[in-house]
Amino acid sequence: GLHPRQPACTCPHSPVDCVIMQVARLLMATLALAAASPSSAVTWVKGSGGASCETVCQARSGCNEEAWPKTLEEFEKIAKEAGHTCVGTQDGGARYDPSTDGRYCGWSGPDDSSDSRCAATSDSGTYRFCPCNSDKEL
């Protein structure tokens, strides 16, 4: 026998389940899109003293380990985006860079970046610039 065609969204329990499914589908599509263009999706946030970027980005979809600046020019854009003006900028070379003490900035991380830089912490007088995956706290 022929079965009537199922509607696109079958609701086993309640219409709410349908909505949840649609939202989930939308989220998956959004995530796939974000993964395709990491650079544009990142928002740089200056953290509080001593905070790791995992902490800073906790409410902003996490820290993007791929986004660290490769050049001084890139870092200067980042500092500007984060609303900070560096009195002077040096290489840095620490796992918690890019960072600032409030005046001077260090931008490049260590040569061997095998360890997570997102998780690195610094002393309370050092503020990290963090690449968060979304711009607003959820």
Does residue 102 sit in helix, strand or coil? coil
pLDDT in tens, 19-47: 777 776 776 665 555 544 444 579 999 99
The model's pTM is 0.68
Q: Which of 114, 58, 51, 105 is nearest to 78 (CA)?
A: 105
Delimit the domains of the chain by residue range. Answer: 12-41, 42-132
Q: What is the pLDDT of residues 109-133, one digit of tens each?
A: 998 767 899 999 999 999 999 999 9
What is the Cα–Cα distance from 89 to 70, expressed in whole angstroms?
14
Contact between 59 and 53 under an 8 Å Cβ cutoff? The reply is: no
Q: Does pLDDT of 3 surpass 70?
A: no
Residue by residue, DSSP assigns 16-46 as: HHHHHHHHHHHHHHHHHHHHH-HHHH-EEEE
Q: Torsions phi, psi of 127, nearest 5?
A: -115, 125
**What is the pLDDT, as a whole number, of residue 136?**
66
